[in-house]
Amino acid sequence: MNTLLNKVLLLQNTQALVCAVSSVQSQLLTTHMALGVLLTNRQYRSMPTHGIGKYRHLLPKALPKKKKDRVQVKQIKAATATEFGVFNVCVSGYDMTLVEHYSQYIHNLCNHLDIKVDESYALPTKSTEVMLMQEQGTKMYLDAVLKTHERIVQISEMKATLFPIFMDVVLKNQPEGVRFCVKQHSETDFQARFKTRPELEGLLAKINN
């Protein structure tokens, strides 16, 4: 046992000596040579000071920065025996505040009733020019420019039993001048949000021809 201890001590001593020597050497070398040439961060894994100076594991994990929040193409879930698939609740009207507040109300109601809301987005505004015929003469003149705003709340996996109650509540609270519409979500609806790409379509037509 004694011999073992002695051996261990000897080992430790030699290691300490080696460390000392190396540190002295490294000091000497660093003083003589240029900085940054011999800066070694050697890990002394058997020493109790192993890992001294590490701090990166204590910082909060910084996720790699996402390049852009691209709108992902999600698979449209079909309806099951007791639940609806993905459907869009579309609120549209001329008055933006009413439309927005109504869509927010619907969203909050869904949150309260534990209805899963996939997405809540706005469709681009449509501008309509109202041209009226003049009383005398045949010329048309511009009367007004009406802007139709649209907001969509996309709901998925809603229980079929809850649906009529939900519709009742939502219709009871419908403000004036706002059109409420429910329809199934389709690929065309999804593609309507994106800009048209005439070059791509032209190329596809050429290749097919």
Partner 1 sequence: MRYSYENVASSVVAVRHSHWFTSVLSLKTSMPLRAEPKKKKKVDPRREIMMKERLKKKLKRLEKVPPELIPIEDFITPAKCFDETRIRDAPKLCFEESERRALLLKEWSRYKYSQHQTEMDTINEALEAQRQALDELKLESEELYKAALSPDMDLFPFQHEGPSYTPPVTNYDAPEGKYNDVTRVYTQ
Judged by the rule CB under 8 A, the positions of this chain that interact with partner 1 are 70-71, 79, 81-84, 87, 93, 96, 112-113, 122-133, 135, 140, 143, 145, 149, 160-163, 165, 168-169, 171, 174-184, 193-200, 203-204, 206-207
Query: What is the C-alpha to C-alpha distance for residues 1 and 122, in angstroms, rounded to an integer?
Result: 80
Of the two residues 5 and 145, which places its CB atom closer to partner 1 in the complex? 145
Say how many Å lie between the first and final Cα of the chain, rounded.
Answer: 90
Query: What is the C-alpha to C-alpha distance for residues 49 and 69, in angstroms, rounded to an integer?
Result: 44
Of the two residues 47 and 146, which places its CB atom closer to partner 1 in the complex? 146
Of the two residues 33 and 143, which places its CB atom closer to partner 1 in the complex? 143
Q: How far is the CB of 188 from partner 1 (least distance, A)?
A: 13
Q: How far is the CB of 181 from partner 1 (least distance, A)?
A: 5
Of the two residues 53 and 198, which places its CB atom closer to partner 1 in the complex? 198
Query: What is the C-alpha to C-alpha distance for residues 41 and 44, in angstroms, rounded to an integer?
Result: 9
Residue identified by tokens 């999600």 is 74
Q: How far is the CB of 30 from partner 1 (least distance, A)?
A: 50
Judging by beta carbons within 10 Å of its beta carbon (0-12, 13-18, 19+), is residue 120 exposed, middle or buried?
Answer: middle
